Amino acid sequence: MKTTKLLLGVCVVAFLATSCKAHRDLIIPKAVNTVNAVSLSELNLDRNDYQVLNTVTAEATISYTENAGGTNRVIKCDDEDFALQYLQSKEGWICRYRGIVKLGYLANDYSVAKDILHPEEVARRLAIYRIINMVQQEGADGVIEPIVSTNVDNGLGKNEVIFKTTVRAKLVKLKTDK
């Protein structure tokens, strides 16, 4: 009995190690934006030194489906027209993708993400990407006090989970000397 449990444990560890290695080798086209996010106390500026342009909100909804055996997993965003499909094969995980995954990072939580397999992470990064586009469109210099919130819900089927991330932040423009 102990030998069987030990053998099962070794098989699980070997499977996870093989799966993780296969994930790291995937190359998925990504567009990445980064913005600095600071708290008001960190600015160390007088109120006359900056202007709060607007409070903006961006959302991203990602669906995640998995077949009953867990050998086919799909992360997709219909309104951005991208999908990541992970198929388990004898060699490990294979990724098929459609479109470009758009990822945004707040400078204080930026990491070089090689592994974007978690749908919550994809939803968070897409919503932040959209906020950064708003920063650029409004001519702001950055955001302050960002609030990032993710909700999870069962989708239409029992194998689908919906991740919805909302990011809310104030756009700030620094006043400069002419």
Every domain of the chain and the residues it spans: 2-174
In the predicted structure, residue 123 carries a pLDDT above the cut 70: yes
In angstroms, the Cα distances linking 147 to 6, 14, 32, 69, 167 are 45, 39, 20, 36, 6
Number of helices and strands in the chain (H, E): 3, 9
41: three-class secondary structure by DSSP: helix
Question: What CATH fold (topology level) applies to the domain 2-174?
Answer: Translation Initiation Factor IF3 (3.30.110)
Q: Range with the lowest mean pLDDT among 51-60, 75-84, 111-120?
A: 111-120
Position 31 pLDDT exceeds 80: no
Question: Quick one: pLDDT band at residue 141, thresholds 50, 70, 90?
Answer: confident
pLDDT for the residue numbered 24: 41
> Which residues fall within 8 angstroms of residue 117, CB to CB, at 6 or more apart?
23, 73, 75, 84, 86
The kind and range of the H/E element at 126 are helix 119-137
Cα–Cα separations (whole angstroms), residue 69 to 24, 44, 159:
22, 54, 11
Residue 164's pLDDT band (cuts 50, 70, 90): very high
Report pTM.
0.73
